[in-house]
Chain A
């Protein structure tokens, strides 16, 4: 009876499944990290610059701190930051994009001009500037990133709202006098809702890279081990000139790349599923 079955389509496709697999593995590592003692990756446990050996699979840094522990704890920092920033940014963008899509003309114009201005300002420079002046705690970094990253998704979502709005059944409902926000939530959300997934994933990607870059520049939170901070010490100590870069610089960089790659693969897969809707939204 095989030939009667409809061709099976997995939710994400091969690409997306690979991405999801990598992401699940990294989340697993991050969860394991929460089981480690509080001073993991922070306490001195070996000789400075100790090469990999028993109990120290990745050796130690210039202060004798366990590099593997830093890698594991850093996974939690990166992923939780990316997740919170992506959630906050998506919510903010949905609010702004939705208001600009259905709001009165003046509101829409104001919001869109504001978005244009934000779009020209360079995101990374803003992030570094704000972090340098306002401080580098986790909460501050999350807030700054969410406030910086909303404009691009807001535009995407506004376009989607405008497209949904021009659908026949919504025009009819509008003519019958239903409130706009209710219509958007009740009847438009199934058109717009799926778009929130790629927006979320893309934002998470950028948050991971930007935050790693900030830490790499030495502006990260010095009390929390992170991939970027480890690489900051690599740079400061000129680790490439020795063979220590193999266990010191390679793993955290690969971890950042893998995380972003996993998110990218998922994002592309989801966007491909949504392509018809996306094409309408950008028309």
Chain B
């Protein structure tokens, strides 16, 4: 029954949402030294006047019983009122709203590139496993997989930005403002960083998945019957091999979204990740809380999309039958 499958998935996302919201609510309050302590460094707190302390306490409703605070917090989340940024006085939702499109562009492009590059090379790696090219691909993937994302970003900046002076190293808009070509130029290095670090695992997984299918009995049997190899791969092996890859891609989505914090920091890209980083360094807890919430929601939402597209690949999931 498809509706049972859908209901199960929905319940799972509801649970994830509940966990994310609760974590976000609980962490600043779980700190020793009272909730106020989470609203700035000790020095910044010492500078606050009593009035300001009282104002912050009232604003965040810390005086009330915990369950009322939680309801207020949930109410705030659902009415898009996440409080005010401590570092620049803007409403948190406004800051998030300005940053979100940039991140969606960056992460969206990176997911597409990572999937295309990772899967294509994974298939090539499996088909050419006995040639030098195949093992070269494998070695490259293992090495790339070991690179910390931020360091690869730094190396690309040094190479393409500073040494070769080919590409801009940070920001998005030039002096003349935001242009389409400017936006695209500024996307190249961050997307390359995310794709190179994200594709390694996808490559390895695609390769081993396709190899497993190719050495399985039905395929070997068909090969013995004289089905041409190319047709065998295209018609019979690719689809079952790519099903588990889809699952891995879903996990990569979470990885990429989290990577936006790192990559945007390295490239000073004006998205959610950069905003999160600035909030962390400024100890701007309301902004930090809001940014983490949106990042988590983004991951959950993208996972839901990935889940919803699963039936396109697997006919069994369409009818709800099968394992």
| CB of A237 closer than 8 Å to a CB of B | no
A257 & B147 in contact (Cβ 8 Å cutoff): yes
Known: A219-B280, A249-B154. Contact between A268 and B261, CB under 8 A?
Answer: no
B257 & A264 in contact (Cβ 8 Å cutoff): no
Give Cα A268 to B139, complex, Å.
Answer: 11
B157 & A231 in contact (Cβ 8 Å cutoff): no
Known: A133-B30, A219-B280, A264-B145. Contact between A122 and B257, CB under 8 A?
Answer: yes
| CB of A105 closer than 8 Å to a CB of B | no
Shortest distance from the beta carbon of A261 to any chain B beta carbon, whole Å: 4
Known: A122-B295, A217-B262, A218-B281. Contact between A253 and B12, CB under 8 A?
Answer: no
| CB of A100 closer than 8 Å to a CB of B | no
A256 & B258 in contact (Cβ 8 Å cutoff): no
| CB of A29 closer than 8 Å to a CB of B | no
Residue of A nearest to B288 (CB): A132
Contact of B254 among A116, A120, A253 (CB under 8 A): A120
Q: How many A-B residue pairs have CB under 8 A?
A: 129
Contacts of A256 in B (CB 8 A): 148, 151
Give Cα A249 to B212, complex, Å.
Answer: 41
B27 & A231 in contact (Cβ 8 Å cutoff): no
Contacts of A209 in B (CB 8 A): 148
- Tell which of A124, A134, A234 has the most Cβ of chain B within 10 Å: A124
A133 & B31 in contact (Cβ 8 Å cutoff): yes
Residue of B nearest to A212 (CB): B148
Residue of B nearest to A120 (CB): B16
Residue of A nearest to B18 (CB): A117
Known: A121-B20, A121-B296, A133-B38. Contact between A217 and B280, CB under 8 A?
Answer: yes
Give Cα A253 to B266, complex, Å.
Answer: 14
| CB of B121 closer than 8 Å to a CB of A | no
Interface SS, B side: helix
B146 & A260 in contact (Cβ 8 Å cutoff): yes
B262 & A122 in contact (Cβ 8 Å cutoff): no
B261 & A117 in contact (Cβ 8 Å cutoff): no
Give Cα A193 to B239, complex, Å.
Answer: 33
B142 & A125 in contact (Cβ 8 Å cutoff): no
B292 & A129 in contact (Cβ 8 Å cutoff): yes
Contacts of B142 in A (CB 8 A): 261, 264-265, 268
| CB of B265 closer than 8 Å to a CB of A | yes
| CB of A39 closer than 8 Å to a CB of B | no
Contact of B146 among A133, A218, A219, A264 (CB under 8 A): A264
Interface residues as binary, A201-216 with B (CB distance below 8 Å gives 1, 0 otherwise) = 0000100010011001
B154 & A234 in contact (Cβ 8 Å cutoff): yes
Contacts of B157 in A (CB 8 A): 240
Give Cα A212 to B281, complex, Å.
Answer: 16
| CB of B229 closer than 8 Å to a CB of A | no
Residue of B nearest to A249 (CB): B154
B254 & A231 in contact (Cβ 8 Å cutoff): no
| CB of B19 closer than 8 Å to a CB of A | yes
Shortest distance from the beta carbon of A163 to any chain B beta carbon, whole Å: 15
Contacts of B276 in A (CB 8 A): 128
Instruction: Please classify how large the interface on chain A is, using the bins under 10, 10 to 19, 20 to 34, 35 or more.
Output: 35 or more
Shortest distance from the beta carbon of A112 to any chain B beta carbon, whole Å: 11
Contacts of B148 in A (CB 8 A): 209, 212-213, 216, 253, 256-257, 260
Contacts of B280 in A (CB 8 A): 128, 132, 217-219
Interface residues as binary, A232-243 with B (CB distance below 8 Å gives 1, 0 otherwise) = 001100001100
A124 & B12 in contact (Cβ 8 Å cutoff): no
| CB of A113 closer than 8 Å to a CB of B | yes
| CB of A9 closer than 8 Å to a CB of B | no
A261 & B143 in contact (Cβ 8 Å cutoff): yes
- Tell which of B31, B146, B162, B281 has the most Cβ of chain A within 10 Å: B146
| CB of B150 closer than 8 Å to a CB of A | yes
Contact of A123 among B143, B155, B254, B295 (CB under 8 A): B254
Residues of B within 8 A of A (CB): 12-13, 15-16, 19-20, 23-24, 27-28, 30-31, 38, 142-143, 145-151, 154-155, 157-158, 161-162, 169, 212, 251, 254-255, 257-259, 261-262, 265-266, 276-277, 280-281, 288, 292, 295-296, 299-300, 303
Of the A-B pairs whose beta carbons lie under 8 Å apart in the complex, a sample of 20, sorted by A's number, is: A119-B251, A120-B303, A121-B296, A124-B261, A125-B258, A125-B296, A125-B299, A126-B23, A129-B292, A213-B148, A213-B150, A213-B262, A218-B280, A231-B150, A235-B265, A249-B158, A253-B155, A260-B147, A264-B145, A268-B142
Besides A213-B149, A234-B154, 14 other A-B contacts (C-beta < 8 A) = A121-B296, A121-B300, A122-B258, A124-B255, A129-B23, A133-B27, A133-B30, A209-B148, A213-B150, A216-B150, A235-B154, A253-B155, A257-B148, A264-B146
Residues of A within 8 A of B (CB): 113, 116-117, 119-126, 128-130, 132-134, 205, 209, 212-213, 216-219, 231, 234-235, 240-241, 245, 249, 253, 256-258, 260-261, 264-265, 268, 279
The 10 A-B pairs at the shortest CB distance, nearest first, are namely: A124-B258, A253-B151, A133-B27, A261-B146, A260-B146, A122-B254, A122-B299, A122-B258, A125-B258, A120-B16
